[in-house]
Amino acid sequence: MKRLSLVFVAVAALAINACKHEQAPTPTPRAQPSPAQRAQELFTNRCATCHGPQGTGDGPAAAALNPRPRNFRDTSWHARATDEHLRKVIVEGGASVGLSPLMAANADLATDVPLRDALVAHVRTLMTAH
């Protein structure tokens, strides 16, 4: 009898151990991308076609544009252009500030303020990129 219960305990222990092995591994928590990282990605995916990856106004679609996008490395433009102007042109489009309507609105950024502000900051960093 004693031997039987020992066998039972051993089998039960094996079964429990097997169950543990079947459990999915705990997923490693992944850091959420920061607004700055998201803004950089967004610029590459959505803006670089026209503005160029470095913001120099020479993206693949730029040749077809008239007027063409300006060079974001132009320091005097950065000095003139307020953050408010950048926010407005990016969210509401070129036509909202008297620029080309081909600079499309990005209405989704109106509700994602951290991303919008990080994108404005990203455009500022392009001044010194390279």
* Cα-Cα-Cα-Cα dihedral sign, residues 74, 77, 82, 86: negative
Stretch in the footprint of ligand HEC (CB under 6 A) among 4-12, 21-29, 30-38, 46-54 = 46-54
**Residue from the set 67, 110, 113, 114 that interacts with ligand HEC by CB under 6 A:** 67
Distance CA 50, CA 58 (A): 7
Told to check if 35 binds ligand HEC by CB under 6 A, we report: no
Residues 6+ positions from 120 with CB-CB distance below 8 Å: 83, 86, 87, 90
Using rule CB under 6 A, residue 91 touches ligand HEC = no
List, in sequence order, the alpha helices (H) in the chain. Answer: 2-22, 35-42, 48-51, 75-80, 83-92, 113-125
Can residue 49 be called a binding residue for ligand HEC (CB under 6 A)? yes
* 54 touches ligand HEC (CB under 6 A): no
Tell me the closest approach of the beta carbon of residue 37 to ligand HEC, in angstroms: 15
119 touches ligand HEC (CB under 6 A): yes
Distance CA 39, CA 14 (A): 51
User: What residues line the site for ligand HEC (CB under 6 A)?
Assistant: 46-47, 49-51, 61, 65, 67, 69-70, 81, 86, 89-90, 94, 99-100, 102-104, 106, 119, 123
